[in-house]
Amino acid sequence: MGYVLGSISSAVIVCKLWRLPDPRTIGSGNPGATNVLRLGNKRAAAVTLLGDVLKGWVPVVLAQWLTGDPTIAAAAGLAAFLGHLYPVFFGFQGGKGVATALGVFTGIHWGVGLLLAATWLAMAKLTRISSLSALTSSALAPIYVHWILRTPWITAMATIIAGWLIWRHRDNIRRLLQGEEGRIGG
């Protein structure tokens, strides 16, 4: 269920409803909130962000409620995250997973979600670079999870998600190292 929910592309749906171009065909080609924002529609980007966060949060919360097992809940979150990256409905070509990962981590523990959101916002304010904000938050996610939960299996899941997030940003990392990465609002 987590994977199927994660496979629903908020960006594609929102852009169809708003009669905007398919986000997979413009800008970075990434079906995510940042690319929808590039279309100049802040409201559509906000709805996309909310949809992506919820599709990570809902499976975690439902699995926790149904099983009472935080490890199963974390596995449901990992499945939702992988659904976003490799969606069955869109030829296994998905987004980078930042917002969905935030939803997963918030579902696991609200404190982890709050720390990650605060880290992203602080880095975005400081650097005005979305990818650097995402990379910093991703790298800190396993540390935050371990610090708050001290559960080895959930920390391992957080490490897997962080590694995948960093991998999905490899082109951004190259541009950052070359000083060519775009800035928020630029």
Q: What is the pLDDT of residues 76-111, one digit of tens each?
A: 999 999 999 999 998 888 999 999 999 999 999 999
Residue 98's CB is within 10 A of a number of other CB atoms, namely 28
Q: In the prediction, which pLDDT does 34 show?
A: 84
Q: In the prediction, which pLDDT does 71 show?
A: 94
**What pTM does this model have?**
0.94
Q: Where is average pLDDT lowest: 21-30, 123-132, 167-176?
A: 21-30
pLDDT surpasses 70 at 29: yes
Per-chain mean pLDDT for the chain: 94
Residue pair 56/103 in contact by the 8 Å Cβ criterion: yes
pLDDT surpasses 90 at 128: yes
Residue type, 1: M
DSSP percent split of the chain into helix, strand, coil, nearest 5: 75, 0, 25
What contacts 149, CB < 8 A, 6 or more positions away? 70, 108, 109, 112, 155
